[in-house]
């Protein structure tokens, strides 16, 4: 099994390159980093069980504050990052 820091870095990288959703990241944080069940993880994040379940299923429309209530516990926050593509050049 990977150590905590390796898993966290893997999740950060996959979020940054768009290869996993917020829901997938939250589920991995819960299962691979904390090992908690949904009820205890929801308590830790100060979320309802319903909200956590919807987040993990990518069925919610969360606010940035809601997402950060989970991610800040792992040293992350939601923000705007530059894409690794060439920017669009607009005509003069």
Tens digit of each residue's pLDDT (9 = 90 or more) over 19-57: 999 999 999 999 999 999 999 999 999 999 999 999 999
Q: Which domain holds residue 68?
A: 4-74
**84 occurs within a structural domain:** no
* Cβ pair 38, 49 in contact under 8 A: yes
Q: How confident is the model at residue 87 (pLDDT cuts 50, 70, 90)?
A: low
pTM: 0.84
| Domains contained in the chain, number | 1
**90 occurs within a structural domain:** no
């Amino acid at each position: 099994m990977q150590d905590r820091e390796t898993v966290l870095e893997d999740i950060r990288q996959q979020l940054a390159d768009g290869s996993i959703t917020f829901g997938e990241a939250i589920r991995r944080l819960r299962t691979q980093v904390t090992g908690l069940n949904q009820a205890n993880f929801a308590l830790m994040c100060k979320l309802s069980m319903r909200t956590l379940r919807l987040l993990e299923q990518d069925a919610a429309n969360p606010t940035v504050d809601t997402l950060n209530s989970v991610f800040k516990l792992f040293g992350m926050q939601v923000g705007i990052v530059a894409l690794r593509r060439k920017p669009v050049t607009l005509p003069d």
